[in-house]
Structure 1
Amino acid sequence: MVCFRFPSANVLKAVGLLVASCCAWYLGYLFAEVLPENSVEVAISNIQSIGEKPVVRAPPPKRQKCDHWVACPPETYAYRLLSGGGKEYLPKICFEDELMMGEKKNNVGRGINIAIVNYDTGKAVDTKIFDMYEGDFSGSLVTFLKNAPQRSILLMSTHDDGATKLSEDAKKAIEALGSKEIRNIRFRSSWTYVAGKGVKLPDDLQKEKINHSDNNKNRYSGWPAEIQIEGCLPRNLK
């Protein structure tokens, strides 16, 4: 009688391990041939992202006309005026998102900077600088204001000194446009002003602001700090 002897347990484990290894290799080879090259990386990335909290990012703020924080309503003009500050920061006059006067346009300087805008079109008519420290330019400033056409918006901003050689006639001409502060302007005062010629501006509109150099002793070594005014001008004024 012939007896059959079964393989030992160790031999069976070894054979099973060999078969499993061969199957694993074959399946890996098969998947590598069938799946796209980046599918494994994508799968791993997806697994790693499970449980992560989604990052919610606020959209970047939309830029408004003349760099306003809040958009002006429809049927209004946006305006923003900055006076000069110290020696280096020059004035800037913006109307309906157009830079009328500023360092980038190389058309601002010491004294009183004035831009004239056609109210009905919102477009610049003329711009000019009047040095009030050297020379006599008060007479030409008065002429410039008198020659501004009717239905104009006049935007004024100082840099450094707008008062030393500002004559009485010039003060009266600016005062006639509605300024409340022109007689308070002193050496190196910061001053900004928006006026209408042949156009009555709303009473609640921000139109004028002044600050004096002696109020800024800790800034710019006695030079005046910049100030600004901005607003939304209705387009349907009479």
Structure 2
Amino acid sequence: MRLVAGGALKGVFLCFASICAWYSGYLLVELIPDVSLSRAVYGVRSLGVKPVLKAPVPKRQKCDHWAPCPPNTYAYRLLSGGGRDKYAKICFEDELLIGEKTGNVARGINIAVVNYITGKVTETRYFDMYKDDNSGPMTKFIQSAPEKSLLFMVTHDDGSSRLKDDAKKAIEALGSKEIRNISFRSSWVFLAAKGVELPAGIQREKINHSDKKKNRYNGWPAEIQIEGCIPRKPS
């Protein structure tokens, strides 16, 4: 009888212990937030997994340069038009001086004048060299630019059909080596300085001509660009 009573008592004790364990587990689940449990499960699963290293997103530079310009320099980027619908752009110190978004770009030669000392844009103009005779007005515009100015020039569509010798001479006087090579729909970009000597190492000019066999724009020359950094202190 004692053995039977002892066995019955142990059975009751085990049953009670099971109920207590179940209830304790229930309380634990209710009291601990789901987020903590999820993190704990994720932590267990992540043991032994190699961490994935992600490269930081590169910081955007002025005028979309790949690398930042040194201190005390101006950043610039000149992009000619490409084909009929890809408009030219002139960026200076991360400001779009000429472009489709600013609404001041058109067929011909687009020019922006910037004060070298302050870095502020003085004026922007475009001169249609296909339909109207704008060679004379453009010559006067270039020659009237103040001393210690930067002049940025880019073409869109055609910049040569009505470009006369007076304008070519004015641009040559600013240091252009390619203005006399410009032809129908040539892509051309040029950085000039008036009353200031620019360092010899900076990129200042580039030209590209039409090529029907190789060009993606069906005979229209592809866009070209130059970019660089100009010392803020004039020579």
Residue of structure 1 in register with 2:150 after alignment? 153
**Is structure 2 residue 9 aligned with structure 1 residue 7?**
no
CA–CA separation in structure 2 for the residues paired with 1:224 and 1:37: 62
CA contact (8 A) 2:212 2:218 kept: no
**Is structure 2 residue 232 aligned with structure 1 residue 228?**
no
Residue of structure 2 in register with 1:203 after alignment? 200
Residue of structure 2 in register with 1:116 after alignment? 113
Residue of structure 2 in register with 1:165 after alignment? 162
CA contact (8 A) 1:66 1:98 kept: yes
User: What's the offset of the Cα at 1:30?
Assistant: 4.0
User: What's the offset of the Cα at 1:12?
Assistant: 8.3
> Out of 179, 187, 192, which is 1:190 matched to?
187
User: What's the offset of the Cα at 1:14?
Assistant: 5.7
| Greater shift in the superposed pair: 67-76 or 206-215 | 206-215
Taking structure 2 as the reference length, the TM-score comes to 0.92
CA contact (8 A) 1:216 1:224 kept: no
CA–CA separation in structure 1 for the residues paired with 2:35 and 2:147: 71
Q: What secondary structure sits across from 1:116 in the alignment?
A: strand
User: What's the offset of the Cα at 1:215?
Assistant: 6.8
Q: Equivalent pairs: percent with the same residue?
A: 62
* Structure 1 portions without partners, runs of 5+: none
Query: Cα deviation per residue 1:3-30 (whole Å; 9 max; x = unaligned)?
Result: x36239x978865652342121232244
CA contact (8 A) 2:98 2:112 kept: yes
> Out of 175, 178, 181, which is 1:181 matched to?
178
Distance 1:37 1:179, change over 3 A: closer
Q: What secondary structure sits across from 1:41 in the alignment?
A: helix
C-alpha root-mean-square deviation of aligned residues, in Å?
2.2
* Structure 2 portions without partners, runs of 5+: none
> Out of 130, 133, 141, which is 2:130 matched to?
133
> Out of 14, 36, 39, which is 1:39 matched to?
36
CA–CA separation in structure 1 for the residues paired with 2:220 and 2:25: 77
Structure exhibiting the larger radius of gyration computed from Cα positions:
1
CA–CA separation in structure 2 for the residues paired with 1:32 and 1:100: 63
CA contact (8 A) 1:216 1:225 kept: no
CA contact (8 A) 1:78 1:232 kept: yes
> Out of 58, 62, 75, which is 1:61 matched to?
58
Amino acid at match of 2:98: M
Amino acid at match of 2:199: P
Amino acid at match of 2:120: K
Residue of structure 2 in register with 1:74 after alignment? 71
User: What's the offset of the Cα at 1:31?
Assistant: 2.5
Q: What secondary structure sits across from 2:4 in the alignment?
A: coil
Distance 1:74 1:135, change over 3 A: same
User: What is the number of equivalent residue pairs in this alignment?
Assistant: 235
Residue of structure 2 in register with 1:52 after alignment? 49
User: What's the offset of the Cα at 1:126?
Assistant: 0.5
CA–CA separation in structure 2 for the residues paired with 1:15 and 1:216: 95
Distance 1:131 1:37, change over 3 A: closer
Amino acid at match of 1:185: I
Amino acid at match of 2:92: F
CA–CA separation in structure 2 for the residues paired with 1:150 and 1:18: 100
Q: What secondary structure sits across from 1:162 in the alignment?
A: coil
User: What's the offset of the Cα at 1:219?
Assistant: 1.1
Moved segments of 4+, more than 4 Å: 10-17
Residue of structure 2 in register with 1:100 after alignment? 97
